Structure 1
Amino acid sequence: MPANRRTKWIAAGLLACLACLALAGCGKQEPDTATASANATPPPPAPPRVLVVGTDAAYTPFESQNEKGEIVGFDIDVVKAIAGKAGFKVKFVNTPWEGIFNALDQGDRDLLVSAITITAERRQTMDFSKPYFEARQLIAVRRDAQVARFEDLKAMKVGVQNGTTGDEVVGKLQGKSSGNIKRFESTPLALKELEAGGVQAVVADNGVVEHYLANNPGGGFKTVSDAAFPAEQYGIAVKKGNAELLARINKGFDDIKADGSYDKIYAAYFGSTLR
């Protein structure tokens, strides 16, 4: 074969090879980014936010501090159970009653649980969950006291916890500035004063009074109820307008009522005495 012809054949072969390589390169598929993304391990979910719960831990059995300084009680167990159902975590912070509502309004607390009675006045500045406990005012007196109704306390020295519903009703009976009203930081302190003879009666929520008497049988007390006292409802308070948190709390409460968790907590603290 002549040299010039051989050269042409070699050139033609090289061109054919180059064409094949080019076609192979064009046929190469890029990785499917959508499939790769779908198969990738999703990032772990963000940890749930810890909500700060304000409570005045001086109201046994609803909230108090044990010997280790831990905040315990009926209210605490109810909120923990609600949080478990609603998918958030909670941290309880002891907050004096005198500043508890301001702490919520300022955003220092996300919610409050502290045997807080739902009232029309309080609804103006905060929102409340569904009621989780019904209470009534109850009178505690010495066993030999001649007291049959609330009106009998009009001229007596009466102990109350400062700023509570008991304080309000006795203030209406005797006058808010009456010298016969003795105000204490907690109901147990008022009841101890009754035992010591410093006051003649104590007016406070039935759950607190009955729990104290059950655990102090030697105090020589009796209780007097009065139909004039209206039923009160306790609620969990959130900042005004926080509808999202309120909805989660209410849903969690419905869940613990439905599965029996609430009834177990109630029975652990009160049995059936208040129902």
Structure 2
Amino acid sequence: MKNIRAAAGIVASAALVLGLAGCTGGGTADSSSGSPETLKMGVINNFPPFEYMDGDELVGFDIEIVEAILAEEGLVGEWQVMGFDGLIPALQSNQIDLAVSDISVNEERKSVVDFSDAYYEDGQSLAVAADSDIKTLADLKGKTIVSTQGTNGNVQAQKVADEYGATVQTLTASDALFLAVTSGQADALVIDTSSIQYRMATDTNEQTVRMLEEGLESAPTAIAVPKGNEELVATLNQGLKKIRDNGKYDEIFSKYLSAE
């Protein structure tokens, strides 16, 4: 289990200009200028601590990990904000070169896109309002669970609902899940475990949500790329290994996530 530490004061640019070396991954070097092609990178912007807005800056664990990888490999990238359910289709249609948003690796996704090596292990958990009388999954009978469209959380929410007699409502934005539960519009939410822990750690006055002890699923998180782009996958893996070896990964991890 992870505890989430607030990442105050972290500033990162939503548009990257990280290097002048030739691109060896999904982008290709411009033969006339020798400069690398800009990688188009899909991301959501409302899922702390992985990606979120700090004022007008896009920040988060995923953001800094990808930026660090690109810097090591001399690549240039530009973030394109979109809905989570649009990331995989955008990769399939080659509108973007990579996608990152705490994307869990599963067999269904592996059939349509490729993934880098895993850079984090996350899970799906269920949370309720702090004062809710729901103590176990069995208490969800007749209740409403909210989850985000196109996510593993949506799959897990439906499994729980089917088993325990609840109803699932699908929302388009991850940050809307917490509002639905704390405002009483829904009884429970399913989302990545780290997101719940982050919310609990950063509640300012009093705890607004609590997480049920039963974890629903655990899965690796990785960077997604269009199917068949083995060169870009190899480049991302190479950069990821470098930042693990030189301590940059641990530095970024300590800003956003810390082990007990």
Aligned partner (choices 35, 39, 48) of residue 51 of structure 1: 39
Residue 256 (structure 1) shift: 0.6
Aligned partner (choices 85, 91, 102) of residue 104 of structure 1: 91
For the 8 Å contact 2:40–2:96, the answer to whether it is kept is yes
For the 8 Å contact 2:146–2:189, the answer to whether it is kept is yes
- The corresponding residue for 1:23 is none
Cα distance per residue 1:56-110 (max 9 Å; x no partner):
2121111122322x32211010000011112211111102222221111111101
Larger mean Cα displacement after TM superposition, 229-238 or 150-159: 150-159
Aligned partner (choices 86, 102, 119) of residue 115 of structure 1: 102
Residue 53 (structure 1) shift: 0.5
Find out whether 1:223 has 2:211 as its counterpart.
yes
Query: Gaps (5+ residues) in structure 2?
Result: 1-30
Percent sequence identity is 28
Find out whether 1:139 has 2:98 as its counterpart.
no
For the 8 Å contact 1:160–1:166, the answer to whether it is kept is yes
- The corresponding residue for 2:228 is 241
Larger proportion of strand: 2
- The corresponding residue for 2:146 is 159
Find out whether 1:254 has 2:241 as its counterpart.
yes
- The corresponding residue for 1:24 is none
Cα distance per residue 1:144-172 (max 9 Å; x no partner):
43444434324321121222112111112
Aligned partner (choices 52, 57, 68) of residue 64 of structure 1: 52
- Matched AA of 2:37: R
For the 8 Å contact 2:70–2:76, the answer to whether it is kept is yes
Residue 219 (structure 1) shift: 4.3
Residue 230 (structure 1) shift: 2.9
Residue 186 (structure 1) shift: 2.5
Find out whether 1:168 has 2:155 as its counterpart.
yes
Find out whether 1:89 has 2:76 as its counterpart.
yes
Residue 179 (structure 1) shift: 7.8
Larger proportion of helix: 1
Change (3 A) 1:198 1:128: same
CA distance in structure 2 between the aligned counterparts of 1:152 and 1:258, rounded to whole angstroms: 46
Larger CA Rg, structure 1 vs 2: 1
Change (3 A) 1:216 1:164: same
CA distance in structure 2 between the aligned counterparts of 1:139 and 1:102, rounded to whole angstroms: 27
Change (3 A) 1:151 1:232: farther
For the 8 Å contact 1:188–1:212, the answer to whether it is kept is no
Residue 124 (structure 1) shift: 0.7
Find out whether 1:190 has 2:177 as its counterpart.
yes
Change (3 A) 1:96 1:143: closer
For the 8 Å contact 1:195–1:219, the answer to whether it is kept is no
- Matched AA of 1:141: V
CA distance in structure 1 between the aligned counterparts of 2:155 and 2:143, rounded to whole angstroms: 16
CA distance in structure 2 between the aligned counterparts of 1:210 and 1:183, rounded to whole angstroms: 21
For the 8 Å contact 1:141–1:200, the answer to whether it is kept is yes
Residues 22-37 of structure 1: pairs in structure 2 closer than 5 A: none
For the 8 Å contact 1:159–1:191, the answer to whether it is kept is no
RMSD: 2.2
CA distance in structure 2 between the aligned counterparts of 1:133 and 1:119, rounded to whole angstroms: 14
CA distance in structure 2 between the aligned counterparts of 1:79 and 1:186, rounded to whole angstroms: 22
For the 8 Å contact 1:118–1:233, the answer to whether it is kept is yes
- Matched AA of 1:65: M
Aligned partner (choices 66, 77, 82) of residue 79 of structure 1: 66
For the 8 Å contact 1:138–1:205, the answer to whether it is kept is yes
- The corresponding residue for 1:271 is 258
Query: Gaps (5+ residues) in structure 1?
Result: 1-42
**TM-score w.r.t. length of structure 1:** 0.76
- The corresponding residue for 1:12 is none
User: Whose relative contact order is higher, 1 or 2, with alpha carbons under 8 Å and at least 6 apart?
Assistant: 2
